[in-house]
Amino acid sequence: MIVVERYEWRQIDPEGNLGGGPQIHKFKTGVIDVYDVKTGTLIQAKVLEPPPGFFARVVGFSPDGKFMYSYAQNNLYAVSLLDNKNPMVIQLTEEDGFWPVAIFFSDK
């Protein structure tokens, strides 16, 4: 499979409040396209709700390739890549005090 996150270029600070004028950055729309690597055919598109936005990242894939994990705005998404199930969302609180950057798996 090939997994592609859709994004749009948007102004992160339209009013220029961060200094240096308006800044354009990638805004992740929440649409995840899954393609067949052999044929290039679109298998399915998944939609993350709420959309990840500016500050998001993919943090890993399950060892069997069935799930993609993404984090944005205190939401940890588990996206099933092989079926039509909706993405699962785990809401973290700011008190959790961390920004996930990777997911690791172990059979022990």
Dist. CA 53–CA 29, nearest whole Å: 6
pLDDT of residue 86: 92
Copy the structure tokens of residue 21.
């004028």
pLDDT of residue 92: 80
pLDDT of residue 27: 92
Dist. CA 8–CA 30, nearest whole Å: 10
Of 94, 95, 77, 73, residue with least CA distance to 86: 77
pLDDT of residue 63: 92
DSSP symbol at 72: E
Of 94, 95, 78, residue with least CA distance to 86: 78
User: pLDDT tens per residue, the chain (108 residues)?
Assistant: 999 999 999 888 766 666 666 678 899 999 999 999 999 999 999 999 889 988 888 999 999 999 999 998 888 999 999 898 999 998 887 665 667 777 888 777
